[in-house]
Chain A
Amino acid sequence: AQSVTQLGSHVSVSEGALVLLRCNYSSSVPPYLFWYVQYPNQGLQLLLKYTSAATLVKGINGFEAEFKKSETSFHLTKPSAHMRDAAEYFCAVSVGTGGFKTIFGAGTRLFVKA
């Protein structure tokens, strides 16, 4: 069965520091992977998605993620954190046919210190 594990429910970084949010997946078939961001009092919005075209995926707001099949990981990074990056981040894997179901991780809340 497919699953997603996000390591760390909370991550705190200083402004300007590297952001690294960890995601590991379990899938019996090649996965489609996503990172979403949720700002306070809003729904989720797509940051980036992996669909096997390239292992390094660039998203919005300077984020990127690298698909590593050998490690079953899809970690999210950003070279320099900004205060506006403070939000909750969700890793997700798409399963089944027709895109009917997406399994979400439990989320990682990112805090950015001035």
Chain B
Amino acid sequence: DVKVTQSSRYLVKRTGEKVFLECVQDMDHENMFWYRQDPGLGLRLIYFSYDVKMKEKGDIPEGYSVSREKKERFSLILESASTNQTSMYLCASSNLDRGLSQPQHFGDGTRLSIL
């Protein structure tokens, strides 16, 4: 089974801090994604990556950056945390091969609170 592991289930940080969320997948997937999930809004894509050192902005990239130095690891960085970034963050990965029909595999999420 595909395993996507997020480093923390719960995290509490203060405004202005630099926050790192880590995600590792074990299935050699090319694509990796970071979403935030808020009630009533579903999942919104922050950033995605289709290869090592490659990154693309999603729908809500402001205030975030990402790093993909190794194929299996995709990090989300909150440069200066703010209270409006309190949310559930979900990491996902998918196989690039065979086009659009590949589903995404998700981690269990990190519930981040910014105080």
Contacts and interface: CB of A to CB of B under 8 A. Distances in A.
A29 to B, nearest CB: 10
B100 A99 contact: yes
A88 B31 CA distance: 25
Interface stretch (A61-69, A79-87, A102-110): A102-110
A100 B31 contact: yes
Interface residues of B, number: 29
Given A43-B107, A98-B96, A99-B96, A106 B41 contact: yes
Given A43-B90, A51-B101, A90-B42, A98 B31 contact: yes
A53 B56 CA distance: 31
Query: On chain A, which size bracket covers the interface?
Result: 20 to 34
Contacts of A18: none
Given A43-B109, A46-B103, A104-B43, A99 B31 contact: yes
Interface of A: 9, 32, 34, 36, 41-46, 49, 51, 90, 94-102, 104-107
Given A90-B43, A100-B56, 13 more contacts: A32-B100, A36-B106, A41-B9, A43-B108, A44-B106, A46-B103, A46-B105, A90-B42, A94-B101, A98-B100, A99-B99, A101-B45, A104-B43
